[in-house]
Amino acid sequence: MYQTKLQKKKVTIRDVWDARKRIHSIVNRTPVLYSSILSEKLGRNVYLKLENIHEIGAFKVRGAANKILSLSEEEKRLGVATFSTGNHGMAVAYVAQKLGIEAVVCISNRVPKAKVDSLKRLGAKIEIVGESQDEAGIRCYELEKERGLTVIQPFDDPYVIAGQGTIGLELLEDLPHLTDVIVPLSGGGLLSGIGLALKSNDQAIRVTGVSMEYSAVMYESLKSGKPIEMEESETLADSLLGGIGLDNQYTFEMVQKYMDECLLIPEEEIGYSMAFMMDKHRMIMEGAAATGIAAVLGKKIPHQDGDVAVIISGQNVDLSVLSNLIQKYLINR
């Protein structure tokens, strides 16, 4: 059927099942881990969905794999591009390397050397342009025009959303008594996908989004009734920074539809939760993932029957940050 540009594709549960098949060969299923200490604290069974144990240390490999694998042979031959230097950039580089596809990452000259090195290790070609993320973004879209590279979106793309949704399918299989899921929220690809997968099966499962207290762009956008822009502030949950796009096509509506509640977590609680997980679970998690732990430790999840799943979205954090937190919460207490 003829489709105009205005008729966008809606993401359906079928797309999530297709994603599961498509990414199977390069993305490992992740386990859920029962946490007795968090269960005791909350008075409910708490499980950790270990999205930190993917090779790149974050769930974003799911969405990137689903998107890149669904490109045409011609598109794959021309290659892919991104201007993310965070977990999404790593995911795109990783998947492209696995598939023998060229990946270009456009970055500003402010990006720290450690990040550039990890991208290079994954075989990405680095293009350094300008002083800001915005300039890097502009260059990325120029490359799309000039060389036919496909820019891989970090969240506002139906394939990326469906890829992240495969987490929801795994949760349904592993936790038949699941009633609450806690999902770190930034651009909303993760929450849209998981919400779609869970609520298509059981409307009653509660989806709680968690963000840092300041620069929670999706939260503020939902309050305003439309996508807005905000200034970024320093946060331990750096993977949750970034806008949702003023011309957001998918995730704004999907988060609006699937999220039951959104909790904003103060910095202090994010830091404490990171230290708590190192101390009590011997687990490293980045600030973005620790927002969900903070929601549990702060008993911000309603008391009812059923199992709670916390999405441990990633573990990519500098050791210097961790060592400061150990000093602050575990040694000088």
What residue ranges bind ligand PLP (CB under 6 A)?
58, 60, 87, 155, 184-191, 239-240, 286, 288-289, 313-314
Least separation in angstroms between residue 184's CB and ligand PLP is 4
Q: Which residue number, 35 or 84, has a Cβ lying nearer to ligand PLP?
A: 84
Write the CB contacts of 146 (distance below 8 Å, at least 6 apart in sequence).
none
Q: Which residue number, 269 or 286, has a Cβ lying nearer to ligand PLP?
A: 286
Least separation in angstroms between residue 43's CB and ligand PLP is 26
Least separation in angstroms between residue 138's CB and ligand PLP is 21
Q: Name the residue with tokens 């990040």.
A: 115
Least separation in angstroms between residue 244's CB and ligand PLP is 8
33 burial type by CB count under 10 A (0-12 exposed, 13-18 middle, 19+ buried)? middle
The closest of 231, 215, 210 to 285, measured between CA atoms, is 210
User: How far apart (Å, rounded) are the C-alpha atoms in residues 85 and 112?
Assistant: 10
Taking CA 69 as the corner, what is the angle to CA 65 and CA 72, rounded to the nearest 5 degrees?
A: 150
Least separation in angstroms between residue 72's CB and ligand PLP is 25
Within a 10 A sphere around the Cβ of 129, how many other Cβ atoms?
Answer: 17
Q: Which residue of this chain has its Cβ atom nearest to ligand PLP in the complex? A: 314
Within a 10 A sphere around the Cβ of 27, how many other Cβ atoms?
Answer: 25
Q: Which residue number, 32 or 216, has a Cβ lying nearer to ligand PLP?
A: 216
Q: Which residue number, 243 or 298, has a Cβ lying nearer to ligand PLP?
A: 243
The closest of 138, 261, 136 to 210, measured between CA atoms, is 261
The closest of 221, 206, 180, 140 to 49, measured between CA atoms, is 180
Please provide residue 254's backbone torsions phi and psi, each rounded to the nearest 5 degrees: -70, -40
Q: Which residue number, 108 or 291, has a Cβ lying nearer to ligand PLP?
A: 291
Least separation in angstroms between residue 86's CB and ligand PLP is 6
Q: Which residue number, 76 or 310, has a Cβ lying nearer to ligand PLP?
A: 310
Least separation in angstroms between residue 170's CB and ligand PLP is 17
Q: Which residue number, 51 or 307, has a Cβ lying nearer to ligand PLP?
A: 51
User: How far apart (Å, rounded) are the C-alpha atoms in residues 161 and 250?
Assistant: 9
